[in-house]
Amino acid sequence: MKYDFIVIGGGSAGLVAAKFANGLGKKTAIVEKYKLGGDCTHFGCIPSKALLHYSVINPSSGIRAFEHVREMVERIYQTETPDVFRKEGIDVIEGAARFIDSQTIEVNNVSYTARRFLLAMGSSPVVPPISGLDSINYLTNESIFSIKELPLSVVVLGGGPIGIELASALNNLGVDVAVVEMSDNILPREDRELSRILQKKLESDGIKILTGTKVISAEQRDGFVALKTEGTVDTVKAVKILVAVGRRPNIDGMNLNSAGVGTDRNGVVVDKYLRTTAKNIYAAGDVVPPYQFTHVADYEAVTATRNALLPLKKAVNYADIGWCTYTSPELAGCGLTEEQAINKYGDNIHVYKFENTHLDRAITDCSTTGLAKYITDRKGKILGAHILGSRAGEVVHEVMVAKKFNIPFHKLANMVHIYPTYSYSVRQPAKYAAIDMLMNNVFVKFIRGLRK
């Protein structure tokens, strides 16, 4: 069977790419060995956010929360079934793909050829090399949503976004939760000041958090899992252990070498156009560094498909990518953290902060834990934005747009924001920035000098 474009992997990147290619009039196929929808639909964004929401509004629901999650996943999946795509004219090939050469793959002993390929196989949970862990029936973000009984206690290995979100949801449902993180603070890639405020909030909610802690062994004892940590004789115990230390790209078993596709420890090697070392094969999503976000997979899928099928190439640009961890409160960001900005620009930056204790909407919602932080250069160019607070994932987009289109931060003060909204956490700091720009204006300085 011959195609113009074959997408390997039916997750977020793969589905977007297949629809785009089909829309361009190309004969397109998707190869998927599990279910269309990938990690986002079945194990990631959809189930985790459904669980977080349900655990907040129904904290006493117990295992019913997980039944609700499965119902939501199935509801979303019904918009992504093979029949849906086949009706649009896209072939869906069910099975595992293996390359024969750069233009041929084999699935279930049947060969398929294409002029262009997109690798979009997604990622899988990383399981750390902890002594004894392989003999324990541990949970991951892929298996936890299938549980039929809510455990009394859970230890979460990893304080990144996945671990912290699931820890929050389980804690909301009344599970005794502990988080073990090797770094000095949870969410180590986030602004340190904000992640520490969030950590205190989670601890006040009842989650035990152990940072700077390395687990060296795991053992099943009397119905509990006992974790031994480095440098201490104490153990951390729970009924279940949830492994959430990161994800690795799914690049094994595909015979990529036969297609001339290079890989390294980060995944598939690509250039700025998302083309692999094989000129007719592109890649997108979690198999490509640096980000493993659904929205980045979408962006990469469109870019890679465009570059594969259209004459004008477009390079990827990750400078304006944003993200959000959906805890309560949310932690969202884009660009450089304060520490990163100082390391890069030294003293030539401004940092504008606004606490939720001064935000009227946060006060009326009894949700005053939070801090917004905006980093600019001396001319007002936005270097980074980091927001801890309710609806931070929505609020940050205003600053992302300004950053993307090179609008100075102080210009946002000219926008009339609706009151009372959480967007005032942008307006107020922007006003401070506008005052700074005014006071540093040469003409204003001259006038002030005359008045002295």
Handedness of CA 289, 121, 166, 217 (dihedral sign): negative
Residue 420, preceding peptide bond in cis (omega within 30° of 0): yes
- Tell me: is residue 377 an annotated ligand-binding position: no
| Angle of CA points 342, 194, 139, to nearest 5° | 120
- Tell me: is residue 23 an annotated ligand-binding position: no
- Tell me: is residue 49 an annotated ligand-binding position: yes
Beta bridge partners of 157: 180, 243
| Angle of CA points 10, 255, 29, to nearest 5° | 30
Residue 59's CB: how many other CB atoms inside 10 A? 13
Residue among 146, 128, 186 nearest 162 (CA): 186
- Tell me: is residue 33 an annotated ligand-binding position: no
Can you tell me the distance from the alpha carbon of 392 to that of 399, in angstroms, rounded to the nearest whole number?
11
- Tell me: is residue 159 an annotated ligand-binding position: yes
Residue among 13, 51, 241 nearest 127 (CA): 241
Cα 163 versus chain centre, distance? 12
Phi, psi dihedrals of residue 364, rounded to the nearest 5°: -65, -30
Can you tell me the distance from the alpha carbon of 363 to that of 109, in angstroms, rounded to the nearest whole number?
63
- Tell me: is residue 165 an annotated ligand-binding position: yes
- Tell me: is residue 158 an annotated ligand-binding position: yes
CA distances from 168 to 105, 152, 161, 165, 203 (A): 43, 15, 11, 5, 10
- Tell me: is residue 162 an annotated ligand-binding position: yes
Known binding-site residue numbers:
49, 158-165, 181, 246, 286
Known binding-site residue numbers for NAD(+):
158-165, 181, 246
Known binding-site residue numbers for FAD:
49, 286
